Amino acid sequence: MKHDLTAPVPGGEAIDAGKDSSESIDELLQTMERFRAYSGPLHPHLLFGTLSKKDYDSYFAMHIADHLSELTF
């Protein structure tokens, strides 16, 4: 999966390029835990429509991997 990593998310918060990376990783991990624990209805994806939780999990894994591929050490 590849996408424009600088593109804003429709309806989402503006990207904060100056945000501390460790704070961002902590936020990501907390969000992943909330998703794992969530058992309610899921909203349709903006591009892919209705997805199961398993499908969303796969999508998120690919999406996150694309973002993490940009990290340099």
Ordered by start, the domain boundaries in the chain are 42-73
pLDDT at 14: 80
Question: 16's torsion region: left (phi>0), alpha (psi -120 to 50) or beta?
Answer: beta
Give residue-wise pLDDT tens across range 24-68.
Answer: 889 999 999 999 999 999 999 988 999 999 999 999 999 999 988
* Residue 60: per-residue pLDDT: 94
State the pLDDT at residue 41: 97
Evaluate whether 14 touches 8 at the Cβ level (below 8 Å). yes
Helices (H), strands (E): how many in the chain? 2, 0
Residue 45, phi then psi, degrees to nearest 5: -70, 145
Tell whether the model's pLDDT for residue 15 goes beyond 80. Answer: no
Look at residue 6 in the predicted model and tell me its pLDDT.
Answer: 78
